[in-house]
Structure 1
Amino acid sequence: MEKFKIKDEYITLGQFLKYCNAVSSGVEAKVVILEGYVSVNGEVEKRRGKKLRSNDQIEFGNKIYCIE
């Protein structure tokens, strides 16, 4: 599990995927989210604007990311 700190109260799912280098662009983030490849806290999430906060876990591409 990779852990990431964010400086604000939250970060959106699309922004986070770019921030942790899981995707190379916003367009790629949009595609993988809309196609159901990303889970947040164990549930498939199809909203790229989903607000992620401390202790949220994101699963994508056989990796798990955690926000501190």
Structure 2
Amino acid sequence: MARSPIRDVPLRDDPIRLGQFLKLSGLAEDGGHARALIEDGAVLVDGRTETRRGAQLAIGSVVAVGELRARPVRA
């Protein structure tokens, strides 16, 4: 089974917090949804489960929720 492509999300300012990135990238519908995904252990950052909503993402980090993947890139 092929993995889904990684969607690049351009950022003007970096770093960005995980909860903010989930909303910006469309991986979460809103802040409450982002919080629930993180608390449920459904968010991976570079292949590892991340449970801190305020975790800082580096440019190029791959964030996955289920089959959906996105990464912050410089605008």
| TM-score (structure 1 length as normaliser) | 0.92
Question: Residue 61 of structure 1: CA displacement?
Answer: 2.5
Q: List gaps (5 residues or longer) in structure 1.
A: none
Aligned length: 68
1:55 corresponds in structure 2 to 60
Identity between Structure 1 and Structure 2 (%)? 31
Determine the structure 1 residue equivalent to 2:46.
Answer: 41
Larger radius of gyration: 2
List 4+ stretches of structure 1 deviating above 6 A: none
The aligned residue for residue 12 of structure 1 is 17
User: Contact 2:18–2:53 (CA<8 Å) still a contact in 1?
Assistant: yes
Cα deviation, residue 63, structure 1: 1.2
- Give the aligned CA root-mean-square deviation in angstroms: 0.9
